[in-house]
Amino acid sequence: MSDTGGGHRASAQALQAGFEELFGDKYEVRHVLDIWTHYTPWPCNQAPKGYSFLIVPLRVLRQRIRNGLQKAIQFATVVTDLTHCHNTWYYHRVDRCFVATEASKRQALQMGLQEEQIRLYGLPIRPAFSRKYPKKEVLRQQLGMDPDKPVVLLVGGGEGMGPVEATVDALSKIVDCDFQTVVVCGRNRKLQGKLNKRAYPPNMIPHIMGFVNNMPEYMFASDIIITKAGPGTISEALICGLPMILNGYIPCQEEANVPYVLENGVGVFERKPALVAATVKSWFTDKASERQAMAARCKALGHPAALFNIVRELAQMVVP
């Protein structure tokens, strides 16, 4: 597994957890950070320091090595984007290419992969999201919340980034609507401390959290999530039946996730905190039925079994 960013890392860690849950210690999962330095013998492990004079590319030798490896090693790709992504994800000689959506499958076919190489299972999400949880009211009580008041979950990622404080300000101005707000500040202790010190109106019960290890419980206990358009969080929200208010995205990398959410009727996109708050109020009052319909569409679109389907097929690919 390669460590190439939060979303990619989360999917890789989910796969590792899936292997451990299904097969115990039967399979070894390695985190590949520098394949030449850590996984080849001398002098190859010194190549990065002096390859300019040490390595001469020989086409014939390279082809022989490639052909030999193809016989012994199965090669699979797990695409960690929801829709259109970089073409380099789709290598035409891959044994299996696991994709999350029909859009991703279409792109794989356009890039030359054959139908038999592709598997559409969904994005691999942590095993905790595939478990059964109590009803929202029970979960809320277990988490120290009011079991009867609806919950909006505001997520700032592991580092507590984005317009979290401005969104809390906007939510605190909502009137004629009783609700609870769970704010996940991640590792941003400064933000967490600042939000804990401020005063809130009586109709808004705040729950200001730092980094949490039980995010599935908070998501299953909530009614709305406010987040940026990361593919992992979107996939988790779908499994939880959690309508989304997307308030941002990483250009190019996450941009295509926004129309995916909008076109499937499982959320909206609003950058301005005031409009985010207005949407929250309407979903908890006059448009509650619209929110409930979105929640049903989320569950229909989610893939809670994706992780274990991928892991089982990867295990079947291993040469004894």
Which of 9-18, 23-32, 201-210 has the least mean pLDDT? 23-32
Work out the average pLDDT over 72-95: 88
Which of 46-50, 58-62, 67-71, 219-223 has the least mean pLDDT? 58-62
Measured CA to CA, the distance from residue 247 to residue 168 in angstroms comes to 13
| Tens-place pLDDT, residues 87-125 | 888 998 899 999 999 999 999 999 999 999 999 999 999
Work out the average pLDDT over 118-135: 95
Measured CA to CA, the distance from residue 185 to residue 117 in angstroms comes to 41
| pLDDT grade for 70, boundaries at 50, 70 and 90 | low
* CA–CA distances in Å: residue 14 to residues 32, 85, 169, 307: 16, 21, 34, 7
Query: Which pLDDT score is estimated for 52?
Result: 56
Work out the average pLDDT over 10-31: 87
Query: Which pLDDT score is estimated for 3?
Result: 47
Work out the average pLDDT over 236-263: 94
Task: Record the tokens describing residue 242, joined without a space.
Answer: 């959690």
Query: Which pLDDT score is estimated for 2?
Result: 43
Query: Which pLDDT score is estimated for 28?
Result: 83
| pLDDT grade for 230, boundaries at 50, 70 and 90 | very high
| pLDDT grade for 44, boundaries at 50, 70 and 90 | low
Measured CA to CA, the distance from residue 203 to residue 178 in angstroms comes to 5
3-state secondary structure of 138: helix
State the angle between helix axes of 6-23 and 306-317 in degrees (0 to 180), rounded to the nearest 10. Answer: 70
| pLDDT grade for 45, boundaries at 50, 70 and 90 | low
Burial 261-297 (b: 16+ CB within 10 A, else e): beeeebbbbbeebeebbebbbebbeeeeeebeebbeb
Side-chain-side CA neighbours of 10 within 13 Å: the count stands at 19
In this prediction, what percent of the chain has a pLDDT beyond 70?
83
In this prediction, what percent of the chain has a pLDDT beyond 90?
68
Examine the pLDDT at 38 and tell me if it is beyond 80. Answer: no
Q: Give the distance from CA 256 to its chain's centroid.
A: 14
Side-chain-side CA neighbours of 24 within 13 Å: the count stands at 1
